[in-house]
Structure 1
Amino acid sequence: MPTTAGTTAPPLFGLAEGVVLEYARLPVDGLPPLLREESRLMVGLPLARREDFRLGRAAAAKCLSVLGQRGPVLSEGRMPLFPQGVVGSISHRNGTAVCLAARSSDIRAAGVDIEIARSIPPRAARILCTERERAWLKQQPDPEQQLTALFSMKEAVYKAACGLRLAIRSFKELELPVDCYDGKVWDGIAVVHGVRLQTGGRPADRTVLTWAVARL
């Protein structure tokens, strides 16, 4: 379960067994090249999205290489479509992309999200959070950072839920196990429409990284 740095993933991020996490950052020099099918997809995107697409596919190529697989990673709507036998998720923010992937024989669905630390304003809690989550936020020493972590985790869970074809109409449907979050590392189980999702992540000074996976 290596990360880009080749370190063991669980002590860093609590990653589920069999799951690979990889990054791609600007500049693009030295990153894995896009495959022909991916290049065709990128040409059809607005200029503002092409850099993110390039970085995301580079991170995905790294994950596939670790898994002994090869792309292309295509698109299904706004979601990445990984090759047969692989499930995965991509997120990007401010010149950094991250990909989470696993063999479909190990994991049913995966979601990953990266956000800028303290980027979600407190007023957004009314829209994003359940009553229980808002009560928890009021007790936190750094509620803006914890709200960003909550939002990021909901994004990751939402992506995994989409991979399972679960219909999610509002982030308030996704009540998270806030008791499993100590402000530094997230490690718990979220239940969405009866499906158990293993969640994890780590807020840092500049970014928040979260993930969610559904096991077989």
Structure 2
Amino acid sequence: MHARSDSTLPAIAVDRALVSLAPPGVLTGCRRIQIEDERYLLPAERASIATREHKARAASGAGRRIAHDLLGRLGSADMAVSRGRLGNPIWPPGTIGSIAHDDEMAVAVAARTDAMRSVGVDVEPALPLPADLLPIVAAPQDRLGDLDPGMGGRVLFAVKEAVYKASFPLDGRVLGFEDIAVDFESGEAVTSSGLRLTVRFAISPRILALAYPAR
């Protein structure tokens, strides 16, 4: 038996947490971002990502590397996930998904369109949201339940990011934090356009959020 290196342990823990959040039919994956990960960008993806900042392109490459693996598992012949005009990933026909990253970890989720209409994911460090950001992220209609306000604020941020990523492919609306109401007690979020989504999250080892249309 070979012992896993310390560098792989966080990714394994994040992967397990993400799997626990995903509904049937949604595949998940994660990867610790490495400096050479830009190499995983396919030509169409490379052309669609405007930033020249190396760290950002490495993060995009890490996310696409996961996406390529998930698409292969879904049987897709097209692996490219280009970036749309508003920064949204454009998935191959017959598939949907979402990609996210923080400074250290990239995550992605994907499914076939006959299993899920849309899905959104986000990842954040397991740290409280800075106090000055909470009034921007939180809205009067949000219900944090028994979450600690500090850590709950970061969870709320991640969940609203995931909700936006899941809602945009459905109605094409650009939403602000104030356009999304989250109720952690019911496990649902509602957008200003009336979309209702199921939300799930984990706090350790990183904050992970997943959102998909409520059934």
TM-score over 0.5 for the alignment?
A: yes
- 1:147 alignment counterpart: 153
Contact 1:31 1:58 in 2 (8 A): no
Which residue type is aligned with residue 201 of structure 2?
A: G
- 1:85 alignment counterpart: 94
Identity %: 28
Which residue type is aligned with residue 126 of structure 2?
A: A
Q: How does 1:109-188 map to 2 (within 5 A)?
A: 109-133=118-142, 136=144, 140=147, 142-180=148-186, 188=187
The separation in 2 between residues aligned to 1:215 and 1:126, in whole angstroms, is: 27
Per the alignment, do residues 85 and 121 of structure 1 end up closer, same or farther by CA in structure 2, a change over 3 Å counting?
Answer: same
Q: Which runs of 5+ in 1 are unaligned?
A: 181-187
Deviation of 1:57 after TM superposition, in Å, equals 0.6
Per the alignment, do residues 215 and 17 of structure 1 end up closer, same or farther by CA in structure 2, a change over 3 Å counting?
Answer: farther
* Aligned counterpart in structure 2 of residue 57 of structure 1, from 28, 47, 64: 64
Deviations 1:82-119 (A, max 9, x none): 10111111101123110111111121221110011225
The separation in 1 between residues aligned to 2:66 and 2:38, in whole angstroms, is: 8
Deviation of 1:30 after TM superposition, in Å, equals 9.2
- 2:194 alignment counterpart: 194
Where 1:179 maps in the other structure, the secondary structure is coil
- 1:184 alignment counterpart: none
The separation in 2 between residues aligned to 1:158 and 1:54, in whole angstroms, is: 22
Where 1:16 maps in the other structure, the secondary structure is coil
Q: TM-score, normalised by structure 2?
A: 0.79
Bigger proportion of residues as strand: 1
The separation in 1 between residues aligned to 2:211 and 2:89, in whole angstroms, is: 16
Kindly report the root-mean-square deviation, in angstroms, between the aligned alpha carbons of the 2 structures. 2.9
Contact 1:108 1:215 in 2 (8 A): no
Where 1:83 maps in the other structure, the secondary structure is coil
Deviation of 1:81 after TM superposition, in Å, equals 0.6
Deviation of 1:50 after TM superposition, in Å, equals 1.0
The separation in 1 between residues aligned to 2:19 and 2:94, in whole angstroms, is: 26
